Amino acid sequence: MNQIRSTEDQQNFVKYLVERGVIKIGGPFTLKNKRVSPYFCNIGVMANGEDLNVLGKAIASTIISNGLGETFDTIYGIPEKGNHMAVMAISKLAEMGILKTFFATRKEAKTHGEMSSVQEDWKKKIVGDVPKQSYRIMLLDDVFTDGASKYETVKKLQTEFSNLSIIISGLIIVLDRQEVAIDGKNAVEEFTKTTGIPVFSVINSEDVLYCIKNKVIDINPVDASNFENYLMVYGTKEVKRSLSYPKHKKYLHRGIIPALDFSNLEKLEEIAMACEGNPKVTGFKIGSLLVGAHGMKTVVKHLRFINSNKIIIYDQQKAGTDIPETGEGFMRLCSEADVDAVILFPLSGPEVLRAWTYYAYNYGLQVIVGGIMTHTAFLKSEGGWIDDDGAYQIYEIAAGCGIDCFIVPGTKIEAIKKIKKIIDANKLDPNHEIQVLSPGIITQGGPLKEVEEAAGEYGFQGIIGRAINDAKDPKQAVIDLTNSI
């Protein structure tokens, strides 16, 4: 974990924005891109003279501190909020001895007054300085999330002023949310890569995080935690460097997790008693059969009574195949039932993976993610329906979201090796221990020793179902299995 760096000016600006209600931390707030965020920035509420003075000074200072004064001729504020920001920026720049202009665009062309004799239609839409040949334009906007409005603006300006050979020399934003796009790439970096336009921010989410951690701003602990969780899931690699992995119960380095895939409570008690006192039994996996028959709280209560210190994992079989919004209710119910962890197979896409993980973190639940199942004809390459690259990308995105526990198919050794390489390349801390949980061994034919070897230095837990549940002597079966690991 790296130390966050934030200047005194940035801290004071964050504090001002929070106290004025410009940055709100709490939520939930639905963003334009449909993500549900615990914080929101609305520059539009900065309406009085002091607000605009502070805002203009912050933007002008950013221009100067980044050495941008000689890189542009005029500022274009992206409508609508950018319009007044541009005016305040050039006003403050003038006080600092730097004379620049601004311009804005009307929605409808002006046809009266001085424009009644103008022939060029594009000039009739201009307010302020009319762009000239080879003009260098600095863009200005409030927030950068996924950059959709910025791409639209660049295209619009390049089209409307195509005869002038304009140069867009940069983009200044007040707050960089430091988020990844749907594909997991840094949204700001992708914007620069695609357009060639560099991006500069007054503050970013790391500055806000610094102010929370160092008590520069007063935020209640739950909102502060949710803010960090959001950055862990949706943030760029840069902002995640200052975050720690979410805390959860510690796993054994090598152990087993009985899969209680049946509906009988008496059977649950029998298996739980067979595992009682065995130090290599890490926890239990409960599923939809037991929960559907008796309710999650009842099932967990029975397990806690016999094995109070074991990890209890809920496997919906398979959770994460719905829309992002349903994750909140799912995680709330799991938390209320006192489970420790949930298994997700987020085949509905990356935004479902991110949203459900974010909600799980908010409720203090560990997330265990899988993307490839043990049976044949699952992946397209095996004759199934699921795209191979998409299934492996689940592990890539999950590792980048701070997830440190994964389901790997015990029947597919080469897949485990590939998954391990993907996790190694994307985990946030190279020294953090990763756990892999492997179903499919024993009854489905997965070779236990080969799976362990493929896991390498990772922690390994064998998920064992029928080999225990159908045994004549479950306790002896548990002893034999734990002795073999």
Return d(Cα 369, Cα 346) in angstroms, integer.
8
Closest residue by Cα to residue 248 from 335, 140, 337, 186: 335
CA distance to 78, 80, 127, 167, 370, per residue, from 154 (Å): 10, 15, 18, 10, 40
Residue type present at position 96: M
DSSP at 428? S
Closest residue by Cα to residue 403 from 431, 433, 373, 374: 433
Torsions phi, psi for 286 (to 5 deg): -105, 150
- Pair type for strands 126-128 and 199-204: unpaired
Q: What pLDDT does 120 receive?
A: 58
Q: What pLDDT does 460 receive?
A: 95
On whether the CB atoms of residues 195 and 223 are closer than 8 A, the answer is: no
The domain ranges of the chain are 8-240, 254-483
What is the DSSP secondary-structure string of 372-409?
A: --SSSS-BGGGTSSB-HHHHHHHHHHHHHTT--EEE--
Closest residue by Cα to residue 322 from 348, 353, 302: 348
Q: What pLDDT does 451 receive?
A: 92
DSSP at 280? T
Q: What angle (nearest 5°) sits at the alpha carbon of residue 179, between those of residues 176 and 183? A: 145
Q: How many CB atoms lie within 10 A of CB 49?
A: 7
Assigned CATH topology for domain 254-483:
TIM Barrel (3.20.20)
User: Where do the H-state alpha helices sit in 309-349?
Assistant: 327-336
Q: What angle (nearest 5°) sits at the alpha carbon of residue 364, between those of residues 180 and 318? A: 70
Element (H, E) at 39: strand 36-41
Q: Is the C-alpha dihedral spanning 3, 4, 6, 8 positive or negative?
A: negative
Q: What pLDDT does 252 receive?
A: 85
Q: What pLDDT does 122 receive?
A: 54
Element (H, E) at 413: helix 413-426
8-240 and 254-483 share one fold: no
Q: What pLDDT does 119 receive?
A: 47
Going through 267-394 in order, the beta strands assigned E by DSSP cover 283-287, 311-319, 341-344, 366-370
- Pair type for strands 23-30 and 36-41: antiparallel
For each successive 10 residues of the chain (485 residues), what is the average pLDDT? 76 97 95 94 93 96 95 92 91 96 75 51 71 94 88 92 92 95 90 96 96 95 97 94 90 93 96 94 96 97 92 94 96 97 97 98 98 95 96 97 96 96 94 94 85 93 95 95 89
On whether the CB atoms of residues 414 and 437 are closer than 8 A, the answer is: no
Determine the CATH number of domain 8-240.
3.40.50.2020
